[in-house]
Every structure is written in structure tokens, then in C-alpha cells.
Structure 1
Amino acid sequence: MRQDAQPSHLPVMWAQALDALRVATDGTYLDGTFGRGGHARGVLDRLGPDGRLLVMDKDPEAIAEARALAAADARVAVRHASFATLADWDATAGGLDGVLLDLGVSSPQLDVAERGFSFGKDGPLDMRMDPTSGESAADWLARADEREIADVLWHYGEEKLSRKIARTLVARRGEAPLRRTGELAELIASVVGRGDQRIHPATRSFQAIRIFVNRELEDLEAGLAAAHARLKPGGRLVVISFHSLEDRIVKRFIAARAKAPAGNRRMPVAVAFSPSLRDLAGAVRADAAETATNPRARSAVLRIAEKLAEAA
């Protein structure tokens, strides 16, 4: 029976994402960013006894919660990994009726100072979604050269003062390593200045470092390709992005598979094009009611695509 029981902590655009998946009672769906299970539980409410929900996450804390859900519901299977590897999971080999990706850092991750994501809460300078794997932000900042740091701040955060911040950071670490989020936030603020900005001066730099440390954009590109490969005809791809770099990748991925490329007068012979996706909605934004109660929803963009049958 469909209950539509809303979780106590609602993910951004919860209802719109679930409606976009168009859950069939006997379908197989993959939530590539389980988080604390808000979307996953919504999918389960719509699935029948023969339905199946596959969940993935990099975060060990999210996976612990997912495994607790799986222990109570035989329809759920769990894998601790990035959604970039979803096509490597044997459970997806039979095809998927829908894939949901809710990108970026989750509210629970931001709320725990020890995870090191927030400049508003002093904690260890970590920023890894999976603290058991890879290099922490502190370790990377301790070894990267000035140019590499500046490039990351510019490309992933669009920080105009990236070179000055990098130069100041390298000079500072010569005196003592940066190990706390508060130290990094204050250093960046000293360079950028606080002024009358509506956002904290460290916002763009923290975003950039987090994206780089977690390989978020590389994972997104790989995950979209993997989802496309595993979706059945009629299956839905649903992605929620929170900044322009992510959304641009999703938009271009869908467009490249939904629309024939523009003609080129230097190539008089037309290249055959068979679309493999249908763009169902363009960019969907959160409604006024949600943005009024959840400021994070203001930057959210939802995109929906449907897998098409292969041409005979």
C-alpha cells in the first residue's frame, strides 16, 4: 500500500524527485546517494512486495543506516561505494527502472563539525565523504603547490581571489600546518574580506576543496554514463544539483543524448543521430513554499530524463 510517509528530515525537492521517478510497484530502483534515507523510504512506500531498491553511498555513516533499513526490509540491497561504480554492481546487471542522484553534501554531514565540511563549525579539516578512504583536505593543503591550490579554488569554486588565497595559505603553512576548519575559514576571510557579502567569504573555497577532495565532478560524469547504461527503456534518470558546475554536466549529458548536434557546414554529409534519452522537464526549481522554509532549496535544480528504446 502506498503510504507516502514523509521522513522527519525531508531532502530538498523530495516530492518532485519521487514523482519524477514514476515508481512502478514491481520495479528496480537505485538511490545513488542514500544519505539518511529520505528518498529511499519514499521509494519503498511506492514499491510493492516484488519491487527492489538498491542503495549506494560513500559515507560509512549513511551506509550503517542503509544496512539497518535493509535488515528490516528484504527489498533493499546496499553497497558502500560511489554511484560512479553502479554499473560494476552485479545487482544492477538486470537493468534499472530508475536512478536517483541527490548531489553534494548532506545536511547531516554539514551539521557534524568533526566531518570538516562546514566553515561555520570548527572541526578537523577533513571534508571526505568517506573518511576511511583517500586524502583529507588538510593533507592535500599541506602538500599541494601554490598553483594547484589556486587552480582548484578557481575551477571548482569560481573564486576570483584564488591566487591570493593560495599564496597566503602556502605562506601560512610554512609557519604551522592548517588542521582546523576554523583556521582555514579565518585565513580565507582575511584575504577576501567580509564586507557586506550575503555569504561567508570562505564559501566558494570550501566548496572547491570539497569537490576536489571527493572527486565529485569526475564521479558525476562516470555515474551518469553508468546510469545510462543500466537504465531500461522507459526508465527514469532523476538528478538534483546544487551548483552550476554539477548542473552544467547533467544538462549537457542529457542534451547530448536527447538532441541531434547542430549542423556543421564543413561536414555536408549529415551524421545519423538516434536519441537515447528524452529530456522530460528541463531545469525544475523548488517552489516558493519550500524555499521559504529551507534556504538550501534555493540553489537546487532537478533534471529528469527517460531512457528510450534502442532503434531496431
Structure 2
Amino acid sequence: MSNDIRFHIPVMSEEVIKGLDIQEGKKYIDATLGGGGHGMEIVKRGGRLLGIDQDREALEFAKQNLKSQISNLKLKDADWKIVQGNFRDIDKIAKENGYDDADGILFDLGVSSHQLDEGERGFSYRFGEKVFDLRMNQKSGVSAKDQLARLGEEEIYEILARYGEEECARAIAHAFTVARRLRPIETTGDVVRIVSEVYKDQKIRFGALSRVFQAFRIVVNDELGSLKDGLSGAEK
């Protein structure tokens, strides 16, 4: 992983940390660690940190970031650990790492700016012929291109309408099914070309593409199911 990679800089970080009310020596879980921005704020204030993320690249960056900042700030008593996992398993992960009695838990939901800017996993339509994958963890689940290959037209429509709130969901779903009869839909470029057949006007096409990518990302990663399980586990 390149040291030049820049991860999501948390917005409203001050408000989030204030809400957690960090107390020295108490335990906190950052269930969406990302690049470690919120996690570092917890450690700086003397909190003990368990960071969880399913994105391997994010964890590698966060580990380097935390080590570097802790060293620079000379925080000799810093207590932190990071774990690769899905926050839907937060109850199990917390117990395995001695954080089942955590004093605070943070969920920062959504896709990170790094994932949108990195391009290789297909989170954005801006990078041409990248694999239409969309998985946060590429070692688990089914990619967007593979799901798109086996879903029926009505199922595609339901995904676009429900998770993307796309007004042309039916037309786009039909365009997908027609296009894949000719050849597999495998790249972000393929998706852009198909959506462009429905939205001829470039000014409104980009909004539609954002909704299409969002809809498939939510389904591929079972984001709503993970959130439901994660919130339930956090209450235990």
C-alpha cells in the first residue's frame, strides 16, 4: 500500500468526540475505523481504543497512522488495538478483545472518500474500466458484477428503486438485461455506458450514476442488514 494514500478525514470530529465524552482509561469502540481519524482523537484523550473495519487497506493505513501520531505525541501509555471485521459482529469482536464492557461506541456510516478516489474496487463511476466490484471486503461476499449477472430484471429494478430511489429504475433495469445478452457487464465503464443510454443528458446523468452505484453498494455489502445487527450487538 502506498504511503501517499489519503483516507477520509472525519467531518464534525469535534462534535463526535464531545458526544462520546472520552474519559481517561475507559474503553471505546470505533466500529468504522477507516483511516483512524476518530480513533486517534480517542487515544489522544486517554481513552482505550478498539478499532474495527472490514477494509484491509483502511486497517493498514490506520495502523501506520496511529503508530506515527502516538510516537510524535509521545503517548507512552496509549492503549489501542485494531481488528478486521464487519461491525455486524461487534458483540463477538468486543467479547474476544475484552471490550464487551465498552463505555462508548462510534459508527461513522457510509463510503469513505478514499474508496471513492482509489478507483480499483469500482466505488466510483469516474475511473473508466475498473471492475464493478463494490465490496468493502474483497475476500467475502459477491461482487456487484456477479450479482448483476444473475439477478432478474425485476430484482434489479427493486434494488435501484429501493436503495437508489432512482426514478428511471425500470428503464435502467431493462437496459442492463438487454446489454448483458450481448456481453457480460463487468466494469464501471460498462455501467456508465448502459445508464447513459437511458440518461442522454449529461447534466442529469451523473446524479443517476451516483444513485445506481449507491444502490448496488448497499446490496453488495448488505449495509442495512449489517447496521441492524451492529446496533443490536452494541446494545448487549
Decide: shared fold, TM above 0.5: yes
User: What residue is the counterpart of 1:52 in the other structure?
Assistant: 48
User: What residue is the counterpart of 1:116 in the other structure?
Assistant: 122
Q: Map Cα deviations across residues 219-249 of structure 1 (whole Å, 9 max, x no partner).
A: 11111111122xxxxxxxxxxxxxxxxxxxx
User: For the structure 1 residues 70 and 16, does the alpha-carbon distance in structure 2 shift closer, same or farther, using more than 3 Å as the test?
Assistant: closer
**Do structure 1's residue 153 and structure 2's residue 144 form an aligned pair?**
no
Structure-1 separation of matches of 2:30 and 2:13: 13
SS of 2:105 mapped into structure 1:
strand
Q: Map Cα deviations across residues 202-231 of structure 1 (whole Å, 9 max, x no partner).
A: 1111100000000001111111111122xx
SS of 1:133 mapped into structure 2:
coil
Q: Which region of structure 1 is more displaced relative to structure 2, 127-136 or 197-206?
A: 197-206
User: What residue is the counterpart of 2:219 in the other structure?
Assistant: 212
Q: Map Cα deviations across residues 63-95 of structure 1 (whole Å, 9 max, x no partner).
A: 223444676766112221111111012225541
- TM-score normalized by the length of structure 2: 0.86
Shift of residue 186, structure 1, vs aligned partner: 2.4
Q: Map Cα deviations across residues 164-209 of structure 1 (whole Å, 9 max, x no partner).
A: 1111101101111111112202211221343643953211111000
Q: Which region of structure 1 is more displaced relative to structure 2, 140-149 or 91-100?
A: 91-100
8 Å contact from structure 1 (residues 70, 78) kept in 2: no
**Do structure 1's residue 103 and structure 2's residue 102 form an aligned pair?**
no
Q: Which has the higher strand share?
A: 1
**Do structure 1's residue 87 and structure 2's residue 91 form an aligned pair?**
yes
The share of aligned pairs that are identical, in percent, is 38
SS of 1:224 mapped into structure 2:
helix
User: What residue is the counterpart of 2:61 in the other structure?
Assistant: 65
Uncovered stretches (5+) of structure 1, i.e. residues with no partner: 1-6, 230-312
**Do structure 1's residue 187 and structure 2's residue 194 form an aligned pair?**
yes
User: For the structure 1 residues 152 and 139, does the alpha-carbon distance in structure 2 shift closer, same or farther, using more than 3 Å as the test?
Assistant: same
8 Å contact from structure 1 (residues 124, 179) kept in 2: yes
User: What residue is the counterpart of 1:41 in the other structure?
Assistant: 40
Structure-1 separation of matches of 2:44 and 2:123: 32
Q: Which region of structure 1 is more displaced relative to structure 2, 138-147 or 83-92?
A: 83-92
The aligned amino acid for 1:138 is K
8 Å contact from structure 2 (residues 7, 34) kept in 1: no
User: For the structure 1 residues 8 and 172, does the alpha-carbon distance in structure 2 shift closer, same or farther, using more than 3 Å as the test?
Assistant: closer
User: What residue is the counterpart of 2:12 in the other structure?
Assistant: 13
**Do structure 1's residue 164 and structure 2's residue 174 form an aligned pair?**
no
Structure-2 separation of matches of 1:133 and 1:40: 25
The aligned amino acid for 1:62 is A
- TM-score normalized by the length of structure 1: 0.66
